[in-house]
Structures are given as structure tokens and as C-alpha cells.
Structure 1
Amino acid sequence: MTRVLVVDDQFLIRAGLAGLLRAAPGIEVVGEASSGDEAVSLAAETGPDVVLMDIRMPGMTGIEATERILAQAGATPPRVLVLTTFDLDEYVYGALRAGASGFLLKDSGPERLLAAVAAVGAGDALFAPSVTRRLVEAYARRTADEQPPALEALTSREVDVLRLCARGLSNVEIANRLFISEATVKTHLNRTMTKLNLGSRAQAVVVAYETGLVTPGAAGR
């Protein structure tokens, strides 16, 4: 059972999302929050597996709420799935850097929403890596003055896996490309995130672009 906290300052959107999730098998809605502050409190109280986080809210934004929720979480922090109206929104990029696991457009259909919650809840790849890549391409150069983690600590195979991950390949696709098992792919990704002190696969994708391992706008895989 995937336990979900729904966060949105607009009542109708929040109620619609919660209703859809409640009707789906294998999902339990543990709470609804109308603000970032309430989201932080409810996350601590209910311990959800996934937080559907609206990013544009008055007062505490979804980015700050994401940072606080993950900072206060224990050994098994929730996965934050950001909700946004715009697919090229620098707030979403900021949320990925804050540790969110992915994002979903508010006009996405029910099937995509449920698939996103299932994927993020299972700790899988970003459910829409290609869209996340567009965000990275649009905003990675704006943070050129920051010093991203060095990749020297990674093995050559870990670098290969990170590169393909940033290109938008799923774990299964990476395994097939490198002739290794899906479990081995997950192991390499986990070790990469540990070595680079990253909290999510989304952050690993960002680092791949910011370090130049993957070039924004480059074609092919």
C-alpha cells in the first residue's frame, strides 16, 4: 500500500487529486494539506511514502516545503512528486535540486498520475525523464557559478550508468544497453548517489548535466 499526502492550495484541485487516488487500488491518502506549512506538519505526523506537492503556493513554496519535509524525515524519507502548471518552470528545477523525485503537470490524465505515484513510490526512475531533461537543459547553465560534485570518485561503470540515466533511459533500458542486470543498475545508481552525497535520482540527473557528463541539447543516447 502506497501512502500519499496531497498538497495543493486550491481546494478543487486538491479534492480531485485525493478523490482519484482514493479510488485507485493500492493507494491510501493519509492527508490533505492546503499550504507548505501544513504539508510539513502533516508529513511529520503521517509519514507518507509519496507527497504530491504543489509548487506555487502563497507563503511557504513547494520548494521550501520539500526541503523541510526531507530534512526532518528519518531513514526512509518520502518521495516528493511536484505538481506544476508549466512544464518549463524554474521552480520545478529548484524542487529537483531540493530533492524532489520528479514532477507532474496538473493537466496530466488520471493514468499518468497513478503511474507517476506508483513509480515514485517504488523508488524507481523519474517517471518522465525526458521532460525532466528539458528542465535541466533550460536551467543548468544558470548555475554555472556553483561547483557541482566531482565525478572522479565514480567507477567507469557508474559513470556509464549515470550518463544513460541522464539521457532518460529506464533501469531496464540501461541494463539492456550495458548487458547487466536491473539490480546491478540500481546498485550502481545507489553507490553513485552515496558517493556524490545526493538524495535522489533527479539530483543525479542534474549533476550529470552540470558536470558536463551529458551536454544540454545533445541528440542521441
Structure 2
Amino acid sequence: MKRVLVVEPHPQVMAALADLVTEAPGCELMGAVATVCEAISLVSGVSPDVVLVDTDTPHWPYWPSHQLGKALAALLPMAVLVFISTATEPYTECPEASATTPPISILKTAVPEFLRSITA
């Protein structure tokens, strides 16, 4: 069972992503939060295997991907960090998130396929 944390500032999208995780066989929703700060506060208590993070969040300028990656990687060295975006071409350079599990960048529309791939 893969434990998944969702970080998404838009309530409707957060609910949809949480539903996708809940409905995906082999996945367990560990939490859904709106901000990176909430995620960092929560991760030490829930130890997710996968963290889905919306890169389009309004809080993102305060947490560039390399800082977020380093912060989450320090707390969760074995977790897979997945940056999700609505952009046509997601930003793929996420430097130094974790030496153990390099980050992944995907489109939000690819989340269902990604969840199936991690539990297959």
C-alpha cells in the first residue's frame, strides 16, 4: 500500500486529487493540505511514500522547487516527490530534491495514470 500526501491550494482540485488517491487500488490518502508549510508540518507524523505537490500554488514563489525538494527530502528521504502542474510543458528541472528518490514532474491530467503505475 502506497501512502500518498496531496498538497494543492484549490479546494475543489484538492478534493478531486484526494478522491483519485482514495479510489486508486493500492493507495492510501495520508492527508490533503493547501500549503507547503502545512505539508512540512504534517509529513513527519504521517511518513508518506509519495507526495503530490501542485507547482502552480500561489505560495510557490516562497518555496522554489529546489528548496521545497530539499526540505521534504530531509524529512522523507525515501519518499517520491511528484510535482504536478497544469502547464502544457511541466517544469522538469527539480534540482537536488533527494539523492535517494529523484523528483518527478507530471501534468495533473496524468495523476490517475501515475497512481496506477506506482501500485501495479
TM-score, normalising length: structure 2:
0.79
Instruction: Give how far 1:116 is off.
Output: 1.2
Whichever structure has more helix as a proportion of its residues is: 1
Q: Offset at 1:70?
A: 0.3
Q: How far apart are residue 85 of structure 1 and its match?
A: 1.4
In the other structure, the counterpart of 2:72 is 69
Shift of 1:57: 2.1
Matches within 5 A, 1:158-177: none
Q: Distance in 1 between matches of 2:35 and 2:96?
A: 18
Deviation at 1:25, TM superposition (A): 1.5
Whose strand fraction is larger, Structure 1's or Structure 2's? Answer: 2
Give the distance between the partners of 2:57 and 2:4, measured in 1 at CA: 19
- 1:97-112 aligned at under 5 Å gives the runs 97-99=95-97, 100-106=102-108, 108=109, 112=110
Report the count of equivalent residues.
113
Distance in 2 (CA, whole Å) between partners of 1:121 and 1:37 is 28
TM-score (norm 1): 0.46
Amino acid at match of 1:104: I
Please state how far the C-alpha of 1:71 moved relative to its aligned partner: 1.7
Note closer, same or farther for the CA distance 1:24–1:121 as it changes in structure 2 (3 Å cut). closer
Cα separation, 1, equivalents of 2:117 and 2:96: 19
- 1:195-206 residue pairs with structure 2 within 5 A? none
Aligned-pair identity in percent equals 27
1:49 aligned partner: 49
Residues 102 and 120 of structure 1 are in contact (CA less than 8 Å); yes or no, is this contact kept in structure 2? no
Unpaired stretches in structure 1, ≥5 consecutive residues = 123-221
* RMSD (Å) for aligned C-alpha atoms: 2.2
Task: Give the gaps of 5 or more residues in structure 2.
Answer: none
Structure ID, larger Rg: 1
Would you identify which runs of 4 or more consecutive aligned residues in structure 1 move more than 4 Å?
none
Deviation at 1:62, TM superposition (A): 6.1
Greater RCO structure (CA 8 Å; 6+ sep): 2
